[in-house]
Structure 1
Amino acid sequence: MWFKKVKQSVILSIALSVTLLVNLLRILSLFGLNPFGKSFSTPTIQGVLIRILFFFVFSYLILQFNTNWKLRYQYLNRIVRVLVLIAGNIAVLSIIISVFIPIYQYITKIILSDTERGFLYFIYCIVLLILIFISRILRYQIVHQQDLVEKESLKRQSLQNELSALKNQINPHFLFNSLNSLNSLIRDNKEATTFVNKLSFMYRYILQSGQQDLVTLKEELKFLDSYIYLIKTRYRNRFSITIDIDAIYLHIGIPSMVLQLLVENAVKHNEISENNPLHVSIYIKENHIVVENKIRPRTTFVDSTGQGLANIDKRYLLLKDQHIKISDGDDVFMVQLPLK
């Protein structure tokens, strides 16, 4: 797994904050706000600046080593990595203090006592432990953030793949029925031409909408109109449909071809005859598109996978985070599609 580095601005700001916090009492003492006890030499401006400089360099190097530089050793086994980190931290600590003491004494002309040197080592060791702890937190945040990004990416990819799969499950049964109807219209050129034009439009719409997750209700109704023409060509006065949708809803996006699928579902599962014509109603009710028809079960076998409504429900769940509503009470089959 590739790990993202901690930003330099973050490391610099933490190093500066730790440095100022550690040297806060000495900085205050310069202004007589918090003088040290007699066991410590009186701080000078040069001495405080040198301490701040070395603490800042020390903090920066430790943070870098334990966050970004350690990534170079990720290929090593765990024990070797731990040994490298321990050796590296001790080396930085030793070098910084070894360089600090002579420079500090040379510039300030103040010789550090054994007590002050011991206290200096103690402070640096405490700061080292704190910085290692902070480094662990920074790395954990980076790893956690990357995990979230990867999981979200995988989730989106999974949803997209599932959505594509659902789109590809659309049953082309009505296209074959339309072609069969076309055979009976060959002699009537005008009607045949209209039929072919409607069919061509539907093919084109299917191909284009396959690249989109949502289409406007206006586009969907235009597609449905072509499908209705094909169905009426086949069933004549045995099939009728009423669409009552106000223009204010036409801009709303819905999953493509859901209305056609619901009308096709009604045609497929209900008897359509002179004595029992099929009527489908489409209208708006309580922020839902309602598609309903009276239940007239076919007496003949219906070749169906039973996945049509489940397909639509999954697409709504993926694209709008809502389920569709299905009911079949009072001999009326009703499907409600959320508008929002």
Structure 2
Amino acid sequence: MINMNNLTHWQVKLSFLYTILIAFIIWEGNRYLHFSLRSYFNWYNKPFRKIAAVLIAISFYTVPVSVLLLLGWYSLFENGRANRQAIVITTLIIMICVVFIAHVYETVFLVKESENEMLRNEQLERAKAEAELETLKSRIDPHFIFNSLNTLSHLIEEKPARAKLFNDHLADVYRYILQHKERELVLLGDEVHFLHAYFSLLRIRFENAVQLRSAIDESQYEAWLIPPISLQLLAENAIKHNEFSDSNPLVIDVQQNGESLIVSNGLHKKDLRKASSRTGLSNLNERYKLIAGKEITVTTTADFFTVQLPLLKMI
């Protein structure tokens, strides 16, 4: 189409520079259009409108600019003898290249935007989960203190000597809660030791009317993790909902079965003024779902109430 033999050495060099200028102007112009259109059209909400807008914009920019710049080339290097067929073919080639590059450009942008959107959603979900978890944790402390103060008040009235002993043990138990309630997981051994410490409080008040049977191999204490204050909550739940006495004690069994901890007690339901909301178990289940993506299993039969807690392997 273009006869380079008619051009001098310097004209050939200048013509190549002019060609680079054409490419630069078309590239920068279309790039500006792409960035401008992004503020008006969204791939996720209106994809077809975005495609139509991009095609129309680059066509109305690329075609006339290409024709004008090509005419300029002929004016500079061919003394204005324009070759219409060459201009049409060259403009068509430029248009095809621009559309292809625009497609690649938008695809890369869309993939990157999708990844960023997924990352933002994950961060939002994580922040939401952490906020929910903190809310659940904050319920542990007031609930325990409320029950403990009720017990202490009862002992002061009926058994003052035991009230002082209860108060001393309460300080040790509450120290554990303060140290571990902000953590998501603790060693199984720490939680079992805390359960025994909590039972020392129960024995002060109820004496032999409550009993704990733990059948967990001590070699497993540092091999598994569990959300803190889980076992204490189950023991407290059993005390709250069952009748018991020295002659008919409440026995709480704790044993490990593979990757689960089984906590069970005999069922002697107490007549409550209002039905239980089971907030404690719901709280524990929500903590498990947020921390480990697992749920507890509650089984009730005519004689037993059993809760299965998933254990998390220590890495």
* CA contact 2:184–2:228 (8 Å) conserved in 1: yes
1:220 aligns with 2:191: yes
1:260 aligns with 2:260: no
* 1:1-340 → structure 2 map (5 Å cutoff): 53=20, 57=24, 60-61=27-28, 64-68=31-35, 70=37, 90-91=60-61, 113-170=83-140, 171-172=143-144, 173-180=146-153, 183=156, 188=161, 194-251=165-222, 252-299=224-271, 301=273, 304-329=276-301, 331-340=303-312
Shift of 1:207: 2.9
Shift of 1:317: 1.5
* CA contact 1:242–1:282 (8 Å) conserved in 2: yes
Q: What is the CA–CA distance in structure 1 between the aligned matches of 2:22 and 2:194, rounded to whole Å?
A: 72
Q: What is the CA–CA distance in structure 1 between the aligned matches of 2:189 and 2:151, rounded to whole Å?
A: 23
SS at match of 2:255: strand
Q: What is the CA–CA distance in structure 1 between the aligned matches of 2:74 and 2:226, rounded to whole Å?
A: 73
* CA distances 1:164-196 after superposition (whole Å, capped 9, x unpaired): 2323333334312442255269864xx666533
Identity %: 25
SS at match of 1:290: strand
Shift of 1:95: 5.2
Shift of 1:60: 4.6
Query: Residue 200 and residue 52 in structure 1: after superposition, are their counterparts in 2 closer, same or farther (change >3 A)?
Result: farther
Per mean C-alpha deviation after superposition, the further-off stretch among 129-138 and 315-324 is 129-138
Shift of 1:148: 2.0
Query: Residue 107 and residue 283 in structure 1: after superposition, are their counterparts in 2 closer, same or farther (change >3 A)?
Result: farther
Shift of 1:63: 6.0
Per mean C-alpha deviation after superposition, the further-off stretch among 127-136 and 50-59 is 50-59
Shift of 1:255: 1.4
Residue identity in the other structure for 2:103 = F
Q: What is the CA–CA distance in structure 2 between the aligned matches of 1:302 and 1:234, rounded to whole Å?
A: 24
Shift of 1:121: 1.0
SS at match of 2:269: coil
Shift of 1:41: 5.6
* Structure 2 residue runs without a partner (length 5+): none
Query: Residue 142 and residue 48 in structure 1: after superposition, are their counterparts in 2 closer, same or farther (change >3 A)?
Result: farther
* TM-score of the two chains, using structure 2 as the length reference: 0.74
* CA contact 1:62–1:89 (8 Å) conserved in 2: no
Query: Residue 104 and residue 199 in structure 1: after superposition, are their counterparts in 2 closer, same or farther (change >3 A)?
Result: farther
* CA distances 1:104-135 after superposition (whole Å, capped 9, x unpaired): 99799xx9844322211111112222233334
Q: What is the CA–CA distance in structure 1 between the aligned matches of 2:226 and 2:94, rounded to whole Å?
A: 64
* CA distances 1:50-85 after superposition (whole Å, capped 9, x unpaired): 6984576357525632444555778xxx99xx9999
Residue identity in the other structure for 2:156 = N
* TM-score of the two chains, using structure 1 as the length reference: 0.69
Shift of 1:152: 1.9
Q: What is the CA–CA distance in structure 1 between the aligned matches of 2:243 and 2:54, rounded to whole Å?
A: 79
Query: Residue 40 and residue 214 in structure 1: after superposition, are their counterparts in 2 closer, same or farther (change >3 A)?
Result: same
* Structure 1 residue runs without a partner (length 5+): 1-38
SS at match of 1:169: helix
Shift of 1:90: 4.7
Q: What is the CA–CA distance in structure 2 between the aligned matches of 1:148 and 1:326, rounded to whole Å?
A: 35
Give RMSD over aligned pairs: 4.0
Q: What is the CA–CA distance in structure 2 between the aligned matches of 1:313 and 1:261, rounded to whole Å?
A: 12
* CA contact 2:265–2:305 (8 Å) conserved in 1: yes
Q: What is the CA–CA distance in structure 1 between the aligned matches of 2:82 and 2:14, rounded to whole Å?
A: 11
Shift of 1:228: 0.7
Residue identity in the other structure for 2:110 = Y
SS at match of 1:298: coil
Query: Residue 279 and residue 94 in structure 1: after superposition, are their counterparts in 2 closer, same or farther (change >3 A)?
Result: same
Q: What is the CA–CA distance in structure 1 between the aligned matches of 2:121 and 2:235, rounded to whole Å?
A: 38
Shift of 1:243: 1.4
SS at match of 2:306: strand
